[in-house]
Structure 1
């Protein structure tokens, strides 16, 4: 069994203050020990929060990120702190969703990435945002993201 090289990480195992803005957040990566093998990594953030840029009111989302690595894995503590940095950041749902996805693509250069952001209603209308880099590699098992569409009272 191979050991992951964590020598370049600055946050893992350390007390780190939460960044106050997504631009300040540091995303870190580690090499995948299974380069050449296609597999899906999933991160689920069921309590994501940001602020409405117009009213300052909190917005809530259930975010699911799936990606097929191509040599790099995102370090999960840095991802958690990055997602937390949106908590006091004012941005529209679409901007938050795509900013998260594109930042991960820039960091990892994955073979494939998709994000599903299932936002809770604002003004009575739920806004769900979906994006992916293209078609997933053939033969990769992609489970459903498992988030039910918002139904309100039915």
Structure 2
């Protein structure tokens, strides 16, 4: 008999269903599912990298591609990875500037999981000879003591070299 973890899965609707089609209404926090953080007293960072991001320019309709990297310190909830993938897929036919996309992902994660800290990094492929990298960051309102702990954990993470966060489109 297999053992079970303490992970809370009762509210997940997408994982394990085989449904892979993205939402027809475009991206939104409603697509992001969550599960309970089993370690809410611990300051730890979750990093999710989506290396095949695509969207459309709102003016020309031309495709934009890039890598979206989300880093967060969870509070009560963590984002479920399959729902995150479907959320990212929802941008494929969505027209928006790169700056708006990066900030929208941050805002939607704040609504869906209310992390203690979250940073979204958008490394967009060059188009027209121009590279654009957009970083958006937010800290949740907390007590001074908790805020100091979260900021220290985020600062330590930012200085730690991580192979998956190396700029995929290096400036030469």
Q: TM-score, normalised by structure 2?
A: 0.81
What does residue 18 of structure 1 align with?
22
- RMSD in angstroms over aligned alpha carbons? 1.9
Higher helix share: 2
CA–CA separation in structure 2 for the residues paired with 1:32 and 1:137: 19
SS at match of 1:44: strand
Aligned to 2:143: none
Separation in structure 1 between the aligned mates of residue 108 and residue 88 of structure 2, nearest angstrom:
11
Structure 1 gap ranges (5+): none
C-alpha displacement at 1:25, in angstroms?
Answer: 5.4
Secondary structure at the aligned position of 2:105 is classed as helix
C-alpha spacing 1:107/1:91, structure 2 compared with 1 (3 Å): same
Deviation at 1:127?
1.1
Distance 1:25 1:81 in 2: 11
Q: How does 1:1-154 map to 2 (within 5 A)?
A: 2-16=5-19, 17-20=21-24, 21-23=26-28, 26-134=31-139, 136-139=150-153, 141-142=156-157, 143-144=160-161, 145-147=165-167, 150-151=170-171, 154=172
Are the counterparts in 2 of residues 52 and 91 from structure 1 also a CA contact under 8 Å? yes
| In 2, Cα distance between equivalents of 1:24 and 1:110 | 14
Q: CA deviation at 1:66?
A: 0.3
**Which blocks of at least 5 consecutive residues in structure 2 are unaligned?**
140-146
Distance in 2, matches of 1:34 and 1:75, equals 16
- C-alpha distance in 1 between matches for 2:130 and 2:39: 42
Q: Tell me, in whole angstroms, the C-alpha distance in 1 between the residues paired with 2:28 and 2:9.
A: 23
The CA distance in 1 between the partners of 2:67 and 2:40, in whole Å, is: 29
User: Do 2:68 and 2:123's aligned partners in 1 also have CA atoms closer than 8 Å?
Assistant: yes
Cα deviation code 1:123-153 (max 9, x no counterpart): 21111101111484324541343225532xx
Kindly tell me the number of residue pairs found equivalent between the two proteins: 152
TM-score normalised per structure 1: 0.90
